[in-house]
Amino acid sequence: MSLVGSWRLISCEHRRSDGAVELPFGPEPNGRLVYLADGRMIVLVTDPARPLARSPQFFEATVQELADAARGCIAYSGRWSLRGNEVVHVVEQSLFPNWAGGALTRAFQLDGKRLTLTTAAFVVSGVEYTAALIWEREA
């Protein structure tokens, strides 16, 4: 079965090295992941509990409102390819500009209509994590 298609996020867990599990985008995260047959991809993950800005206009939001919105969001696009049991996302554009030009490698497991992507270990504030995102095929 191919990864090509549209996927809806079911869960996002950050698993600490001590076994604790955190839900950085809440218990019911929003997210879409699209893999195109031509090798392009795009992903958007948001926390549905992100606070709303006072104004409905993006360009009228305060710096703090924009920071709060970005804190609960991951968004990037680029190219994708398979390497064994890994999918490699070569980032061309990203909400977090430091990712542009880099590659994000994820182990993947495909089980029917479910796709699990798992990151390599990463460290935040001295704590080691891995992230596991479970997606369900939409199309």
Residues of the chain with pLDDT under 50: none
Q: Specify the pLDDT at position 1.
A: 61
Q: Specify the pLDDT at position 7.
A: 98
pLDDT in tens, 83-97: 999 999 999 999 999
Does this model's pTM top 0.85? My answer is yes
Q: Specify the pLDDT at position 57.
A: 80
126: left (phi over 0), alpha (psi -120 to 50) or beta: left
Burial 110-123 (b: 16+ CB within 10 A, else e): eeeeebbbbbeeee
Q: Specify the pLDDT at position 35.
A: 98
- What domains can you pick out in the chain, each with its CATH number? 5-52+61-137 (2.40.128.280)
Looking at residue 126, what DSSP letter applies?
T
